């Protein structure tokens, strides 16, 4: 029996597509990127269309279905910009349409802010909290100015980012995307590409202007081209920001909104280009190049003086150049921010963790440390670091790495402190100041990335930078630096003020725009025939955005039909449903896993669970013949996964993924021996908190297991709360009352009794997360040590607090 079209559409959860299969095929075709020719050839294979029962026969018909039936997205158009008599094409969207699209998206309703707020960590309201953009001072300041003349205004802080990126490896094709997002949207949503909270506004020209032979003239022309294109793109927000425009939000409320250029996100070359300053100076303040290495901040550039200088353009080229030089900027013709309402571009330039820290100061620090101590010993220590799920093992060292990426610098930073502890400097120079300098800069790096700050933690941030400046002269003493006039070092002085203005640094992290290059530039270019690429790229992006939006709508339809909640809580610990070894005898656990006291330890745990009123001493007095178990094997697992809740993150933020690996040695498919791996973990002894080491112990896991069903029923006949998964662990000494001086890490040793390692069995639920230990190598790392045996051969360790942010907050 046939169904009328109206009823069919109403009952079809995947409409306007005929079926779930058709929708899945369209989504795959638009998201995975097969060429139109290849997709059409697939459909033309005999029998494919008949079996799939699609309503289209070619890629062109599929595109018509997407274009004509899915909701419209802001469209691209092309305009010509003339600079020095040359014409250049710029592809862009109406920026106000983009703002409306983001502001009115119902998916963001639960994650939107419409007014500034102030949060405090204490009842006396002295310890101010900073996180989302609406908690910063900038929103309050602009809101106060608007309320004087235009009461009832709703500010829409616009966050723009630009960055040129390579599209090809060999033919040197590049793209220059401009991205937009709104400060009203929660930062947890903005940083997820799948949420589409960042939109591509346009592609700027990538011309090199090689017809201009003079380098200085060419640079000036390139700057004028950039600002002319950005000025055209941002033209609609000038009047809208000043007078306001009525907008309906995703919640259905109509407000008078003022879209205002608030934040610019970019690396140092982009910052200098936007601020119209020369390379080698700060784009925000008036510090001279010779003073970049000082620890004192300079005043911000005076916007009013600079605007006055820009107003001299009509007086002639010579006067204009002189006025701009006196104001400390390049003579750019009408920078795009010149007359934007309520905008101070020198305030809007924000910290850049990726390029200023990881690719900047940490890159320098790693180089200085390697030069100071010698590459051979640094590489030797890298090769002997114990493994960890969140750690990269540099099996060949770090001194020979070339074209080091930001991720590789992150991985090096995790182990950098362990490379310098107890390592002597040449010529008998005391290394204490160098260790303090490394610790201070690592502290600054991790503190700067906190997703939530208070007045107190910002004080810690400032103190870390002060400690680095107090100890940095050691690098001059050992001869690896002769000055510290680095713009990226000076930029660290602006982190704390920027956090107070715009919230924490994850509001304006360049890593987000770097990730967007894949979706909006590289994948878009691969979808074209590489001839006249931009029209094809923009059309491809519009269709992809439509498909992504429809995908979310389909998911909502399905959830409404099921009437089930959208999300489910994630368990903190996960172990595989099926064991790796179904039945491992106790002798195997002792010989292959190193669980030497497995049976008595298991007996003690069972007795503790069955007799919680007995003390440890009373349990030890049980007769030996009674300490036998009615089974001789257990099921063994080789992995524990953790999802750790960051105490600084909000409830809806994703947890930090972690894992502990526990497996014996084995042979791979080529017959090579793979060493065993038994990770160290942080164990909650019953009163551990969200931060600090009180209530925690470190242990090395030797076996993760569960009891056979019959055995479990026999030893726990009525106790349903008995742990299902358990772990045999070997203990390290308890944490000291305070970390050691200088490097500020906790020192641990193996816990021994009569020369034998102390082991016990604990519920897996007591394990908080994995933990990484730095071996104390001494002056020279023993060459018989390796990554796989260092935990067994080394006697003294330091707890690595730089494994990730969750560890830093927990054990620092």
pLDDT exceeds cutoff 60 at 653: no
**CA–CA gap between residue 134 and residue 120 (Å, rounded):** 14
Q: With H, G, I as helix, E, B as strand and everything else as coil, classify residue 356.
A: helix
Do 474 and 616 belong together in one domain?
A: no
Residue 793 lies in a domain: no
Residue 488 lies in a domain: yes
Tally the domains of the chain: 5
Residue 2 lies in a domain: yes
Do 414 and 555 belong together in one domain?
A: no
Cis omega (within 30 of 0) for bond into 4: no
pLDDT tens readout for residues 685-699:
988 888 888 999 999
**CA–CA gap between residue 684 and residue 264 (Å, rounded):** 43
Pairing of strands 796-799, 759-763: unpaired
Mean pLDDT along residues 53-78: 92
> Taking a C-beta distance cutoff of 8 angstroms, is the pair 88, 80 a contact?
yes
Structure tokens at 781: 């790392």
Do 603 and 616 belong together in one domain?
A: yes
Residue 811 lies in a domain: no
Residue 620: the pLDDT is 61
Residue 720's pLDDT band, with cuts at 50, 70 and 90, is low
Pairing of strands 656-663, 573-574: unpaired
Please give the distance of CA 57 from its chain centroid, rounded to a whole number: 42
Its pTM surpasses 0.75: yes
Single residue among 495, 526, 557 that ends a domain in this structure: 526
Chain position carrying tokens 């900047």: 360
Do 589 and 733 belong together in one domain?
A: yes
Do 253 and 314 belong together in one domain?
A: no
Mean pLDDT along residues 763-787: 95
Of the listed ranges 189-193, 235-239, 359-363, the one predicted with least confidence: 189-193
Do 291 and 228 belong together in one domain?
A: no
Residue 709: the pLDDT is 85
Q: Please report, for residues 303, 419, 749, 798, the alpha-carbon distance to residue 776 in angstroms, rounded to integers and kept in the order given.
A: 53, 9, 10, 7
Residue 6: the pLDDT is 43
**CA–CA gap between residue 794 and residue 778 (Å, rounded):** 10
Residue 83's pLDDT band, with cuts at 50, 70 and 90, is confident
**CA–CA gap between residue 534 and residue 513 (Å, rounded):** 19
Residue 616: the pLDDT is 64
Do 105 and 236 belong together in one domain?
A: yes
**CA–CA gap between residue 157 and residue 155 (Å, rounded):** 6
Residue 713: the pLDDT is 81
Residue 564's pLDDT band, with cuts at 50, 70 and 90, is very low
3 state SS for 193-230: HHHCCCEEEEECCCCCCCCCCCHHHHHHHHHHHHHHHH
Residue 7's pLDDT band, with cuts at 50, 70 and 90, is very low
Domain of 731 in residue numbering reads as 573-771
pLDDT exceeds cutoff 90 at 364: yes
> Taking a C-beta distance cutoff of 8 angstroms, is the pair 209, 238 a contact?
no
Side-chain-facing half-sphere of 810: CA atoms under 13 Å: 29
Do 211 and 246 belong together in one domain?
A: yes
280, 274, 241, 235: which is closest to 258 by C-alpha? 241
Mean pLDDT of the residues in the chain: 90
Dihedral of the alpha carbons of 428, 433, 435, 436, in degrees to the nearest 10: 170
Give DSSP secondary structure letters for 139-198.
Answer: HHHHHHHHHHHSTT-EEEEEEEEE--EES-SSS--EE-EEEEEETTB-HHHHT-GGGT-S
407, 425, 415: which is closest to 381 by C-alpha? 415
Structure tokens at 608: 């503790």
Give DSSP secondary structure letters for 454-509.
Answer: EHHHHHHHHHHHHHHHHHTHHHHHTTS-S----HHHHGGGGHHHHHHHH-SGGGS-
Of the listed ranges 68-77, 457-466, 654-663, 770-779, the one predicted with least confidence: 654-663
Residue 578 lies in a domain: yes
Do 297 and 151 belong together in one domain?
A: no
Do 18 and 89 belong together in one domain?
A: no
- Indicate if the alpha-carbon torsion angle 599, 600, 603, 605 is positive or negative: negative
Residue 312 lies in a domain: yes
Q: How many CB atoms lie within 10 A of CB 691?
A: 14
Residue 792 lies in a domain: no
pLDDT exceeds cutoff 60 at 287: yes
Single residue among 470, 505, 540 that ends a domain in this structure: 505
Q: Please report, for residues 13, 67, 525, 538, 554, the alpha-carbon distance to residue 544 in angstroms, rounded to integers and kept in the order given.
A: 20, 10, 13, 10, 15
Residue 617 lies in a domain: yes
Single residue among 470, 497, 526 that ends a domain in this structure: 526
**CA–CA gap between residue 176 and residue 512 (Å, rounded):** 15
Residue 625: the pLDDT is 46
Structure tokens at 54: 């699609």
pLDDT exceeds cutoff 70 at 563: no
**CA–CA gap between residue 634 and residue 705 (Å, rounded):** 6
Structure tokens at 420: 């310098």
Do 590 and 716 belong together in one domain?
A: yes
pLDDT exceeds cutoff 80 at 655: no
Please, which residues bridge with residue 86 across strands? 83
Q: Any idea what DSSP says for residue 739? A: P
User: What is the percentage of the chain residues whose pLDDT exceeds 90?
Assistant: 72
Do 160 and 234 belong together in one domain?
A: yes
């Amino acid at each position: 029996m046939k169904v009328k079209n109206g009823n069919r559409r109403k009952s079809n959860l995947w409409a306007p597509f005929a079926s779930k299969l058709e929708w899945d095929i369209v989504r795959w075709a638009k998201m995975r990127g097969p060429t139109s020719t290849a997709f059409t050839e697939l459909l033309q294979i005999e029998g494919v269309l008949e079996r799939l029962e699609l309503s289209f026969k070619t890629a062109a018909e599929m595109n018509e279905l997407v274009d004509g039936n899915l909701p419209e997205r802001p469209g691209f158009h092309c305009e010509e910009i003339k600079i020095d008599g040359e014409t250049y094409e710029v592809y862009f969207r109406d920026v106000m349409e983009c703002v409306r699209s983001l502001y009115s998206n119902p998916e963001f309703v639960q994650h939107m802010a419409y007014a500034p707020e102030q949060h405090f960590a204490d009842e006396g309201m002295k310890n101010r909290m900073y996180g989302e953009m609406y908690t910063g001072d900038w929103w309050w300041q602009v809101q106060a100015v608007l309320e004087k003349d235009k009461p009832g205004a709703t500010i829409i802080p616009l966050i723009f980012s630009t960055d040129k990126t390579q599209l090809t490896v060999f033919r040197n094709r590049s793209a220059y995307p401009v991205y937009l997002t709104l400060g009203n949207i929660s930062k947890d949503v903005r940083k997820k590409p799948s949420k589409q909270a960042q939109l591509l506004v346009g592609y700027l020209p990538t011309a090199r202007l090689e017809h201009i032979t003079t380098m200085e003239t060419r640079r000036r022309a390139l700057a004028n081209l950039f600002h002319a294109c950005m000025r055209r793109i941002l033209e609609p927000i000038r009047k809208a920001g000043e007078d306001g425009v009525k907008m309906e939000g995703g919640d259905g409320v109509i407000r008078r909104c003022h879209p205002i250029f608030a934040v610019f996100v970019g690396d140092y070359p982009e910052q200098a280009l936007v601020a119209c300053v020369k390379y080698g100076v700060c784009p925000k303040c008036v510090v001279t190049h010779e003073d970049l290495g000082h620890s004192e901040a300079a005043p911000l550039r005076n916007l009013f003086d600079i605007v006055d200088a820009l107003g001299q353009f009509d007086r002639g080229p010579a006067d204009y150049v002189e006025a701009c030089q006196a104001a400390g900027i390049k003579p750019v013709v009408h920078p795009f921010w010149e007359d934007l309402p309520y905008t101070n571009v020198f305030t809007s330039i924000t910290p850049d963790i990726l390029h200023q820290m990881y690719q900047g100061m940490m890159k320098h620090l790693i180089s200085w440390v390697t030069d100071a101590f010698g590459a051979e010993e640094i590489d030797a220590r890298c090769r002997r670091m114990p493994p960890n799920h969140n750690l990269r093992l540099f099996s060949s060292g770090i001194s020979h790495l070339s074209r080091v990426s930001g991720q590789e610098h992150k991985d090096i930073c995790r182990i950098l402190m362990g490379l310098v502890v107890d390592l002597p400097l040449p010529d008998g120079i005391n290394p204490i100041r160098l260790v303090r300098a490394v610790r201070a800069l690592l502290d600054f790096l991790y503190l700067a990335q906190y997703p939530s700050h208070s007045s107190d933690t910002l004080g810690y941030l400032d103190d870390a930078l002060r400690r680095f400046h107090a100890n940095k002269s050691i690098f001059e003493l050992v001869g690896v630096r002769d000055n510290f006039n680095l713009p990226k070092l000076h930029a660290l002085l602006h982190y704390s003020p920027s956090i107070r203005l715009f919230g924490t640094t994850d509001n304006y992290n360049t890593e987000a725009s770097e990730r967007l290059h894949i979706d909006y530039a590289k994948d878009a270019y691969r979808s074209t025939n590489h001839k006249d690429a931009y029209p094809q790229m923009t059309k491809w992006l519009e269709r992809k955005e439509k498909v992504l939006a429809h995908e979310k709508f389909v998911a909502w339809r399905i959830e409404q039909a099921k009437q089930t909640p959208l999300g489910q809580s994630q368990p903190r610990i996960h172990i595989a449903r099926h064991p790796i070894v179904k039945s491992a005898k106790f002798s195997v656990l002792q010989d292959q896993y190193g669980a030497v006291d497995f049976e008595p330890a298991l007996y003690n745990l069972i007795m503790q669970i069955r007799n919680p009123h007995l003390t440890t001493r009373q349990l030890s007095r049980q007769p030996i013949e009674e300490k036998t178990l009615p089974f001789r094997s257990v099921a063994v697992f080789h992995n524990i996964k953790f999802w750790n809740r960051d105490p600084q993150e909000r409830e809806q933020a994703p947890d930090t993924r972690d894992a502990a690996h526990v497996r014996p040695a084995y042979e791979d498919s080529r017959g090579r021996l793979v060493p065993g791996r038994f990770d160290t973990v942080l164990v909650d002894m019953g009163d551990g908190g969200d931060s600090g080491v009180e209530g925690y112990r470190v242990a090395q896991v030797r076996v993760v297991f569960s009891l056979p069903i019959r055995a479990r029923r026999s030893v726990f006949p009525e106790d349903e709360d008995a742990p299902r998964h358990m772990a045999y662990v070997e203990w390290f000494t308890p944490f000291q009352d305070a970390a050691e001086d200088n490097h500020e890490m906790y020192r641990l040793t193996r816990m021994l009794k009569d020369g034998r390692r102390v082991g016990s069995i604990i519920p897996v639920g007591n394990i908080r997360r994995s933990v990484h230990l730095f071996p104390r190598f001494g002056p020279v790392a023993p060459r018989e040590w390796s990554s796989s045996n260092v935990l067994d051969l080394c006697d003294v360790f330091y707890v690595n607090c730089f494994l990730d942010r969750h560890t830093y907050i927990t054990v620092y």
